[in-house]
Structure 1
Amino acid sequence: MSTFVHIGLPKTATTSLQRNLFAQHPGVNHLGKPYQNEDFRALLKTIIACDEVMFEDVLARIKPCGHLLDSDKPTVISHERLSSDHDADRAVKARRLKAMFPDSRIILIVREQINCLESMYVQYLKGAPVKYPYCTFEEYLQAAWMRFHVDRDFGKEAYQKYMHVRVHNPLGRVHYKALLKSYLKHYAKDELLVLPFEQLKADPTFFLTKLSRFIGIDEETSVRLMTQQAPRQTRPSGIDIALKGSPLLLRLRGVASALLPQTAKKRLKAKLSRNISLDWPSTLSAKISDLYREPNRWLADEFSLPLMDLGYPI
């Protein structure tokens, strides 16, 4: 049977699809996250993360996994870092996937860039201040802007101002035209399925029907498996942001909790636990939207996607 590689993107319901659909559907030979075979995990990690100069040597140490693809069901391999700007170059990952799985087809889920950048910043905050230094949303965007424009000299002072922000290239990550062009060098257009994340939110049945027909699995089962799951809340609360941005508040939290009356604590927690809304600096919002207008028009035309109706910059 055919092999399908779901490459992400991150922040497009990837975990839900992995856990609730691909791993649970009786019509799928599931590989990838969540892993059920350690040898295949090593293979996929090597494709994703290994430096090109060491790739062949590392690959030679991994046990053959070809027998895992021998199934009367379609095989689905899923890992969002295949499309991420972490680890090996994304064009290299595309070439490796075609070489390792020559009969594979690709599934890519995209998300409106402005909303996706907000979601990536929220994910960044979840790792602060332990995994990453805390930064404001504006600092995150400014650092991302500089990393995207590597050909420009912003000056030493600007780089020093934002060097504490630990990002790779989030603006490049959501440049879908560039990513898909690298896959079109190895795959025919009809071997690529591109779906907008917004369609999954607005009309799960429509989205899951298209996905299921591409893979060749029962559509009703896909819809049932995905729609029976409760949606996860991903935005941190106001109190989370305040604590992450202030080590002093973090230290004082325990003291304040002990001193405040129970009724006062409940009122304060209810007020601060509302999900945050992120304010875009007006100049950055316009500049970043402009980055994606032409690439999004290409994407909409090439893959017949209603991106304008879904709010993408066009």
Structure 2
Amino acid sequence: MSSTLPVLHVGFHKCGSTTLQAALFGRHPQIDYLGEPREEPRSTEAIRLVRDSCYVEERKRIRFDPERSRALWQEALSDVAPGLVPVFSKESLTQPEFYAAPDDPNLPERLRAVVGPARIVIVTRHQIRLIESLYLFHAKGVHVEPAQQWLDARQEEMHQYRFHTVAQSFVAAFGRDNVAIFPFEDMKTDAKSFARRICDFIGVDSQHGADLIAGERRNQRVSQRYLAYSKIRKAFGLYIPIGRMMPEAMRRSFNEFVAGGREARIELPATFVAKMEDYFRDDNRKLARDWGIPVEKYGYPV
């Protein structure tokens, strides 16, 4: 069993998690990776039991059973080879359905009761860009709501992107030295440096991590062409992708064309943007003050 502290990468969604999981955590030789997409079943069940005990919606909530969850977690860690760092990554651990408010301590405290001492990795992103990316991800689905309708239905969820407030709940549970925040924008501008800092924090070779992540970008935003194609298809009720009806060579060329070109852009309603900027402003200033996150450099609302 590894004698090093396990690592929990807790998200957020649309903050480069897929790249970290596939390119860094899943390939680094000094990491025993337990998380998505090839999840170790015992650790996954242990964390799922913790998470599902924190559902805000009572009908979905299960009873918290720390003994069962702790036993599953320890079984998983018992198979980690000495010298390897166990890393578990699950974006849903910061999802709004598990927090009554951004400072809700339940999930971090219950994680601490189950996994014991651990290092916590949090990746943040400019909140408006994050919300845009979430909507574009939604737009890939079968039934697409107009942006304003989609936003109106999710007003309550936006509180979770007060990153400083959420991070403080993990600090209270795991200790300040065991929590680190990394802005997604650093991954986009200097992926190698971003990877080195994460590797240094979790205790694995940083240069190897930098080499692994260089040039990697997974689960990228859809293209403007794809978004237009998707809207047209759904407007006519064509929920089966048109490409499936083409010969293979033609389908491949069609898919490459649709996926190419510039990334999709979405203009969120100005009133919504102004409201969200006011809402996140103070929390972002605390991110800069307490964590040294260069929020002004990346245009976060301040």
Category of TM-score, reference length = shorter chain: 0.7 to 0.9
Give the Cα separation in 1 of the matches to 2:286 and 2:122.
16
Give the structure 2 partner of residue 298 of structure 1. 286
Which residue is equivalent to 1:81? 92
Aligned counterparts, 1:105-124, within 5 A: 105-124=119-138
- In structure 1, the partner of 2:180 is 193
Instruction: Describe the shift of the 1:221–1:240 C-alpha distance in structure 2 as closer, same or farther (beyond 3 A).
Output: same
Unaligned ranges ≥5, structure 1: 149-168
5+ residue gaps in structure 2?
A: 55-60
Could you tell me which of 30, 44, 47 is aligned with 2:47? 44
Is residue 2:299 matched to residue 1:311?
A: yes
Structure 1 residues 243 and 5: alpha-carbon distance in aligned structure 2, compared to 1, 3 A threshold: same
Q: What CA deviation, in whole Å up to 9, does each residue of 1:38-92 have, x standing for no partner? A: 2222112112223565121893796452414563222211111111123576632
For residues 46 and 253 of structure 1, the distance between their equivalents in structure 2, rounded to whole angstroms, comes to 37
CA distance in 1: counterparts of 2:175 and 2:66, whole angstroms: 30
2:170 alignment partner, one of 170, 174, 183: 183
Match of residue 58 from structure 2: none
Q: Scaled by the length of structure 2, what TM-score is found? A: 0.81
Q: Between Structure 1 and Structure 2, how many residues are aligned?
A: 276
Change (3 A) 1:279 1:56: same
CA distance in 2, matches of 1:57, 1:186: 15
Q: Which residue number corresponds to residue 127 of structure 1?
A: 141
Q: Are 2:10 and 2:93, in contact at CA under 8 Å, matched by a contact in 1? A: yes
After alignment, is 187-196 or 269-278 more displaced?
269-278
Name the CA distance, whole Å, in 2 between partners of 1:253 and 1:109. Answer: 33
1:106 shift after superposition: 0.7
Q: Give the RMSD, CA atoms, in angstroms.
A: 3.0
Equivalent residue number for residue 266 of structure 2: 278
Matched to 2:195, the amino acid is L
Partner of 1:158: none
Give the corresponding residue for 1:59. 68
Give distance in 1, aligned partners of 2:259 and 2:115.
52
2:148 pairs, out of 133, 138, 150, with: 138
Q: Determine which structure has more spread, i.e. the larger CA radius of gyration.
A: 1
Supply the distance in 2 between the matched residues of 1:77 and 1:215 (Cα, whole angstroms): 12
2:191 is aligned to: 204
Q: Which residue of 2 aligns with 1:174?
A: 161
Q: Which amino acid aligns with 1:101?
A: V
Aligned to 1:162: none
Q: What is the deviation of 1:312?
A: 0.3
Residue 91 of structure 2 aligns with an amino acid whose one-letter code is E
What does 1:85-104 correspond to in 2, within 5 Å?
Answer: 85-87=96-98, 91-104=105-118
Q: Which amino acid aligns with 1:241?
A: K
Partner of 1:17: 20
Provide, for residues 187-237 of structure 1, a one-character-per-residue CA deviation record: whole Å limited to 9, x for no partner: 222211001000010011221111111011111211121114355432242
2-side partners of 1:102 and 1:227: how far apart? 33
1:53 to 1:281, Cα distance in 2 relative to 1, 3 A: closer
